[in-house]
Amino acid sequence: MFPFHFKKAVQAVAHLLRTEPSWRMNYMRLLKLLYIADRESIKETGEPITGDRAFAMERGPVLTRLYDLIMERDKNSPEWNRFFQKVHYDLEMTQDPGMADLCRYEADKLREIAERYADEDEIALVQRVHQFEEWKKYAPREGASRPIPFREILEAVDRLEDKESIESDAREHAFARRVLEDPES
C-alpha cells in the first residue's frame, strides 16, 4: 500500500543495529523488531516506517524487501552492501548511513522497540509474533510464504475504520515519491 522507502529502511536497520555495542544482530531478530515497529507505527500513525510489504513465513511475519536485501536478492543489494554485511545469521553494519530520512517519531519508535525487547532473542520474538492475528490468519504451510494484506494488519491493530483515509494517504505518498524521484513524470 505504501511505497517501499529504501533509504528510510536502511536507516531504520542501522538505528536498530546501533543499539548493539557490536553494531551486529541476528537478522531474524532484526526482521521481527522491524516488523513490530512498522506494525506499531501503523497503529499509532496509520503509516509504516519502511513501507515494506509483509509476508507470513514459517517463523512469523517478515518485511519482504528487507529480507531480500539481507539475502542479497534485491535490485538495491549493491547499495545495501555499502552499509551492511551478512555474517552467518547476523547482520553487521559496516558503514553508518545516518538518520536523515527518519523523523523523530520513527527514530523514537525504533529505539523503544529495541529497548522493550532487548532481553528477547530471535526465538522469543518468533513466538511473540506468532501471536499476531494477521500471522495466525495467513500462517503458511512449512517452507512457504503468503502475503499479508495491509487490510489485515489494519484490522489486527484496530485501525480498519480508518482504511479509506489511510489508503488516501498511501496514494498521496506514492505520488509524491514518484514526483520527487522523477520530476518529469
182: left (phi over 0), alpha (psi -120 to 50) or beta: beta
Q: What is the pLDDT of residues 37-47, one digit of tens each?
A: 999 999 999 99
pLDDT digits (tens, 9 = 90+) for 150-179: 999 999 999 888 888 888 887 887 777 677
Q: Is residue 74 part of a domain?
A: yes
1 found inside a domain: no
**In which region does residue 15 sit, left (phi positive, over 0), alpha (psi from -120 to 50) or beta (all else)?**
alpha
* Structural domain span for residue 157: 6-181
Q: How many domains does the chain have?
A: 1
The model's pTM: 0.92
| 171 found inside a domain | yes
